[in-house]
Chains A and B, each alone.
Chain A
Amino acid sequence: MRFMVIVKATPESDKDGALPDPELLLEMGEYNEELGNAGVLLAAEGLRSTSKGARVKFSGKSCTVIDGPFTEAKELIAGFSILQVKSLEEAVEWVKRAPNCCPGGEGEVEVRQVFEMEDFAPILTEEQIQHKVRARAELPNQTANK
Chain B
Amino acid sequence: MRFMVIIKASKESEEGAPPDPQLLLDMGKFNEELIKAGVVLAMDGLHPSSKGARVKFSGKSRTVVDGPFTEAKELIAGFWLWQVKSLDEAIEWVKRSPFSSLAGESEIEIRQVFEMEDFAPVLSEEQIQHKVDARAELVGQEKK
**Chain A residues within CB distance 8 Å of chain B:** 2-4, 6, 19-22, 25-26, 29, 32-33, 36, 41-48, 50, 52-63, 65, 70, 74-75, 77, 79-80, 82, 88, 92, 95-96, 98, 100-103, 105-115, 119, 122-124, 132, 135-136, 138-144
6 residue pairs bridging A and B, Cβ less than 8 Å apart: A2-B44, A42-B139, A46-B114, A61-B100, A77-B6, A88-B51
B138 and A44 contacting across the interface, CB-CB below 8 Å: yes
State the majority secondary structure of interface residues on A: mixed
Name A21's closest neighbour in chain B (CB-CB). B122
Bound-complex Cα distance A136 to B81 (A): 12
In Å, the complex CA distance between A140 and B142 comes to 6
**Distance between A86 CB and nearest chain B CB, rounded to angstroms:** 14
Task: Report chain B residues within 8 Å CB of A92.
Answer: 53, 55, 64
- Chain B residues packing against A (C-beta within 8 Å): 2, 4, 6, 18-19, 21, 24, 28, 31-32, 35, 40-47, 49, 51-60, 62, 64, 69, 71, 73-74, 76, 78-79, 81, 87, 90-91, 94-95, 99-114, 118-119, 121-123, 127, 130-131, 134-135, 137-143
CA A61 to CA B137, docked complex, whole Å? 43
Question: What residues of chain B lie closer than 8 Å to A122, measured between beta carbons?
Answer: 18
Q: Is A109 touching B141 in the complex (CB atoms < 8 A)?
A: no
Task: List chain B residues, Cβ under 8 A from A100.
Answer: 57-60
Partner pick for B111 among A29, A48, A60, A95, CB 8 A cutoff = A48
For residue B106, give the distance in angstroms from its CB to the closest CB of chain A: 4
- For the complex formed, measure the closest distance between the CB of A76 and the CB atoms of chain B, giving whole angstroms: 8
Q: Which of B32, B53, B103 has the most CB of A within 10 A?
A: B53
Q: A43-B139, A110-B52, A112-B51 are in contact. List 9 more A-B contacts (CB 8 A).
A: A6-B76, A19-B119, A20-B122, A26-B127, A45-B2, A59-B104, A88-B51, A100-B57, A142-B140
